Chains A and B, each alone.
Chain A
Amino acid sequence: MMLWSELRDLKDDIDYGTPPRGGSLVSVTIDGVSVSVPEGSSVMFAAAQSRQNIPKLCATDTLEAWGSCRLCLVEIEGRSGYPASCTTIVSEGMIVRTQSEQIQRLRKGVLELYLSDFPAEDVEGGWSEFHDAMAQCGVSSHPYEPTETHLSSAIDTSNPYFLFDPAKCIVCNRCVRACEEIQGTFALTIQGRGFDSKVAAGQDQPFFESECVSCGACVQTCPTQALVEKSLFEGEYSRG
């Protein structure tokens, strides 16, 4: 959990992806560039320090790493496979590659899958972190046939200030973690498994009726605008 010095190192215009750490420096090489970061930092953090922004969805520097979205994978010399850069901690002399054809393909695949269950009419004109990640990876459509989606899930508009549209939710857990780690209220959970997994407030209640205190931490951290301020919409929110 973040200590005081780490909170103070947060920057407004940079998202390091994982919390800044204190401690002695470790040198790593990211895409051929050498960078020194405090011990305990993630590969993602080190990359951000060397201005290599690895695409990410479930990671943000105000929350501890989670490692579920599989978008931030990288190649590390001497290791097999494609570890997630958010949950991989740097070690001295580590050599990391954040870009390769294979990585590109894998990331594209991840995003296309998310996109296949995202309201199609909101792909264009959106400005969420999800949209940024798509732009970064060159994804704007997906090859999948129409299949089961969350477009029929009910929108929770019970809170006067924000709404939750499950059709845009990618179940990255950031809202749940923000409620726990930042706010300390523990009002949100992920219920169900696989396709059925969803964000639930309280005992699967509408947000307004749950123990949610409307601090806005979940809205602030949501990468897809599934949780979003009502004040950004003229009139009632509707899909499509």
Chain B
Amino acid sequence: MANPTKPDKQVITTCAYCGVGCGFKAETHQGRIVRMIPWKEGKANHGHSCIKGRFAFDYYQSNDRITTPMIRASIDDAWTPVSWEKAIQHAASELRRVQAKYGTKSVGAISSSRCTNEEIFLVQKFARAVLGNNNIDNCARICHSPTQFGLSATVGWGAASQHFDSILQADVIMIVGANPTEGHPVFGSLMKRRLRQGAKLIVIDPRRTESVNSPHIKADVHLNLRPGTNVAVLDSIAHVIIREKLYNEEFVRSRCEWDEFERWAAFVSSERYAPESIGPQAGLSPELIRQAARLYASGPNSAIYYGLGVTEHSQGSTGVMCLGNLTLSCGMLGREGVGVNPLRGQGNVQGGSCLGSWPHVFSGYRFVTDDEVRASFEKDWGVTLDAEPGLRLPNMFDAAIAGNFRGMFIMGEDPVQSDPNQGHIIQAMRQMECVVIQDLFLNETAKYAHVFLPGSSSLEKDGTFTSAERRVNRVRKVVEPLAGYQDWEIVVLLMNAMGYPAQYADAGEILNEVARLSPAYKGISFELLDRIGSAQWPCDENAPEGTEVLHRKTFPRANGRGTFMLTEYVPTAERTNDTFPLLLTTGRILTQYNVGTQTRRTENNRWHAEDVLEICEHDASVRGIKDGDRVRIASRFGSTELRAKYSERVSGGVVYTTFHHAETRINVVTSDLSDWATNCPEYKVTAVEVVKVEIGSSAKKAKKKKRDEVVTA
């Protein structure tokens, strides 16, 4: 019988992997998902897909899915399966006990960009209204927090100015620190479609990514800068644009703050930002910087797309401001084909940002410090709220080590694996008296947890995701939650058990509350999304079906004008030296997703069964390293082992790896430096040395020993 089984049901939903937000039709047969097929009316994918969304869905029924709540007194005990009621009661009383003993602010919560908007909103409400403090953060802290900061400072909204389709009207595409064909494959295909139609391409990236050179695609200018020199190079591009008068004076005069432009123009025109001065520091020829500047300014439509290669630096926020400055100065905003657009790594990073899982803002980027704003939330929620910003994720860990932070609710997040300087995080986790984890699997962080609440995958719940193009997409329940509850229901149970009466008939009611309290989401509801498919915020009475292109007439700033920030280049404190002469930068590949919790549980592993260290042949051979050798990579923070792979994608002095596999433990190596404004970790620059692991030395033992050293350090 070679005819395939015909699915008996279809549900339209949204992919939970990267920030592109592809629409899919999930097909089931007798209640089991048998395939995901791309939805032709999905506004981001138009019927296209990538390996992750299309095929890697089986993780949801993986054998190691936890479907029973569990508790334990100490992290050295075995888990005890208990009823939902018992687990919730235990979590509630333990969190309250910790607060009674160490203070209201001794506990906090973390949500994840894998959660729906409704869940993220609810977790921040849980922290603020139930725990009574603003110790609430989310994983965007460690990826795109500088986007929100840097873009809101210059253009007003911390979000993509365009919709994805806009790229099909771009004449010049500038990719900065991003690798769309691996990280955002469906958008990558759209970009390649436009490049084949003749658009020009500038790539700013230390690696020769697929976008730089692959069949039918070749970058017109590739600035393979030294990791950590983004701000210098972007300022230098601005220098050329000002000195050669390539800027759009009419746009700046009519749409921006002219005085600030003049101040900024004088600042970047300084000789210290001349390509001749910056080129040598960044490892680039000055002429290449000039070419990039001229090409970008020439347009007529130039569009910037950027990723974590911009944000994950000690000057991440400054780098984002540089991009804001560039687009404003050349008038590349307010129409199709232009703009400045962050490519978001996880399905709901934009939603995570919008929905208030931050210690300083409520949903809709409204400041907790603002009395009027706070009053509106207090009225809606019926409680008095903390007027002070709370702790950020890395500061929570710092405070834990200092003994002042003892309890945590973590939803869908694995900080022990994903956050930098793993030894430090583990030390912090060991200080906690009550860690409640809500997740699908016993992840690395769960090793340090006391309560485990089994969550639901995105295939098992209702809600919305907001994609990187600000598009609010509907997530629909395809199969019943394996553990019995949708994630938002679990948070409601916990809120109720802690004495806060929260009641929602469905996720749509939570979205209504979001709309009530967040101006950009004012017009968004399940009804609207079910009717028109999806909508990009801002969505309100002025834009009842959403807004594709931002900044058409004004910028969302007090005076309606865009502005320019002075972006001084400050080299990172993380420098190479004799002991650590190479720079490590990290990234991702097509078949795996983030820390691999989902994709490692699928056949995708056959393409990428381990993280490997990309190193250029010269750097390898002077160290006696052959292609495929096991190597030890060490920084001043720690070391780990993996296999080396000769690669022409990295330049001399730079090595690269991915972070998809827990065993690699690459975040033992990464630095504890972070962005000046947001504490987003500097994953993209760590000084390292790489040595060959001699065959015969027990690699496993060495690894075990090293781990103990790190933990007890």
Contact = CB atoms under 8 A, between A and B. Distances in A.
Contacts of B383: none
Given A232-B35, A238-B2, A3 B168 contact: yes
Chain A interface category by residue count: 35 or more
Interface in B20-67: 25, 34-35, 37-41, 43, 46-51, 54-55, 58
A213 interface: yes
Contact of B40 (A11, A214, A217, A234): A11
Interface string B300-318: 0000000000000000000
A217 B55 CA distance: 12
Given A121-B2, A182-B48, A233-B5, A161 B603 contact: yes
Contact of B50 (A121, A213, A238): A213
A216 B58 CA distance: 16
B469 to A, nearest CB: 13
Interface string B571-597: 000000000000000000011000000
A184 interface: yes
A215 B5 contact: no
A133 B262 CA distance: 67
B542 interface: no
Interface stretch (A107-115, A134-142, A223-231): A223-231
A183 B51 contact: no
A25 interface: no
Interface residues of B, number: 46
A97 B215 CA distance: 43
Contacts of B169: 4
Contacts of B7: 232
Interface stretch (B191-199, B421-429, B474-482): B191-199
B47 A62 contact: yes
B6 interface: yes
Contacts of B216: 184, 186
Contacts of A93: none
A4 B169 CA distance: 8
A99 B192 CA distance: 40
Contacts of B34: 229, 231-232
B606 interface: yes
A215 B189 contact: yes
Interface in A1-29: 1-4, 7-8, 10-12
Contact of B3 (A10, A125, A216): A125
Nearest to A160: B603
Interface in B124-182: 165-166, 168-169
A126 B6 CA distance: 9
B606 A160 contact: yes
Nearest to A123: B3
A83 to B, nearest CB: 27
A186 to B, nearest CB: 5
Contact of A185 (B37, B43, B49, B215): B215
Contacts of B46: 7-8, 10, 62
A217 B168 contact: no
Contacts, number: 117
B624 interface: no
Nearest to A10: B40
Nearest to B27: A232
B4 interface: yes
Contacts of A143: none
Contacts of A121: 1-2
Contacts of A125: 3
A217 B48 CA distance: 6
Contacts of B197: 1
Given A12-B41, A232-B34, A215 B215 contact: no
Given A4-B169, A8-B46, A184-B216, A216 B2 contact: no
A239 interface: yes
B345 interface: no
B194 to A, nearest CB: 9
Most buried by A among B6, B47, B166, B603: B47
Most buried by B among A11, A181, A185: A185
B4 A182 contact: no
Interface string A152-165: 00000000111001
Given A4-B168, A8-B43, A184 B55 contact: no
B185 interface: yes
Most buried by A among B38, B40, B58, B591: B40
Contacts of A162: 55
A177 to B, nearest CB: 13
A231 B3 CA distance: 12
A92 interface: no
Interface string B592-629: 00000000000100110000000000000000000000
A213 B43 contact: no
A183 B48 contact: yes
Contact of B2 (A217, A220, A229, A239): A239
Nearest to A184: B192
Contact of B51 (A181, A216, A238): A216
Contacts of A186: 215-216
A162 to B, nearest CB: 8
A130 B520 CA distance: 47
Contacts of A192: none
Contacts of B48: 182-183, 215, 217
Nearest to B48: A182
Contacts of A214: 51, 54-55, 591, 607
A31 interface: no
Nearest to A186: B215
Contacts of A127: 3-4, 6
A234 B41 contact: no
B196 A1 contact: yes
A217 B3 contact: no
A106 B215 CA distance: 40
A184 to B, nearest CB: 4
Interface in A202-224: 208, 213-217, 220
Contact of A215 (B25, B39, B54): B54
B55 A126 contact: no
A127 B5 CA distance: 9
Contact of A11 (B2, B4, B41, B189): B41
A240 B3 CA distance: 9
Nearest 3 A-B pairs (CB), nearest first? Answer: A160-B603, A232-B4, A184-B192
Interface of B: 1-7, 25, 34-35, 37-41, 43, 46-51, 54-55, 58, 165-166, 168-169, 185-186, 188-189, 192-193, 196-197, 215-217, 336, 590-591, 603, 606-607
23 contacts: A1-B197, A7-B165, A7-B168, A10-B47, A62-B47, A125-B3, A160-B606, A161-B51, A165-B2, A182-B193, A184-B189, A214-B54, A215-B49, A215-B54, A216-B51, A216-B54, A216-B55, A220-B49, A228-B4, A229-B4, A233-B4, A233-B5, A240-B2
Given A11-B41, A12-B25, A160-B603, 15 more contacts: A3-B168, A4-B165, A10-B41, A12-B39, A62-B46, A119-B2, A121-B1, A127-B4, A160-B606, A161-B603, A184-B193, A213-B50, A213-B185, A232-B35, A234-B5
